Amino acid sequence: MMLRDIPAILMQYDAAAALVRAAWRRGCPLADFVPSLTRLVAFSCQHPVRYWLMNIDQLPPMGPVEQAWIMESWFPAMAATSVQHLALVLPNDLHNHMVATAPIFNPPTAMTFELHFFPDDATAFDWLLEHDPRRRELWQEWEDELARLHRDAPDCADAYS
């Protein structure tokens, strides 16, 4: 099911697959980063989520505040979820790529899930849901929502209206 509760994030949730799939929406301001990810973590605490797929390709360049928040707050908050595997689709932007992969070199003590990096959604999705019988259905639901967004609300500002 596609959820529209967090305007800066395109989000899909499937209880049977225990999946949250999210992508940062093009044009959303960096000021939405911490509140949006906080809400996404809270959602994952309230639902049986084992798999996260997060695409940050459209995220504006993160600053030191966001970088510190990830290490000091986000990782500990994720420890309260049931997430076991996180697939992160890396951005083409070199700066955010380096920020996203920093936990490899300085792993936080609160990391309670397996973290893998991917160049695209398809590879990440296959890694998470390789054996799920509804894989194609979930993929199509996401693609249909992307098509709707490109048609009806292509930029983040449209999500708030």
Model confidence over 123-145: pLDDT tens digits? 999 999 999 999 999 999 999 99
CATH number for 88: 3.30.750
Model confidence over 18-69: pLDDT tens digits? 999 999 999 999 999 999 999 999 999 999 999 999 999 999 999 889 988 9
Q: Domain range for residue 67?
A: 2-135
Q: Which of 64, 18, 13, 58 is nearest to 39 (CA)?
A: 13
* HSE-up (13 A, CA, CB side) for residue 44: 30
pTM for the full predicted model: 0.90
159 is a domain residue? no
Q: How many domains does the chain have?
A: 1
Q: Which of 36, 22, 17 is nearest to 160 (CA)?
A: 36
Model confidence over 58-107: pLDDT tens digits? 999 998 899 889 989 998 999 999 999 999 999 888 888 888 887 777 77
φ, ψ (nearest 5 deg) of residue 42: -60, -40
Q: Which of 64, 120, 49, 57 is nearest to 91 (CA)?
A: 57
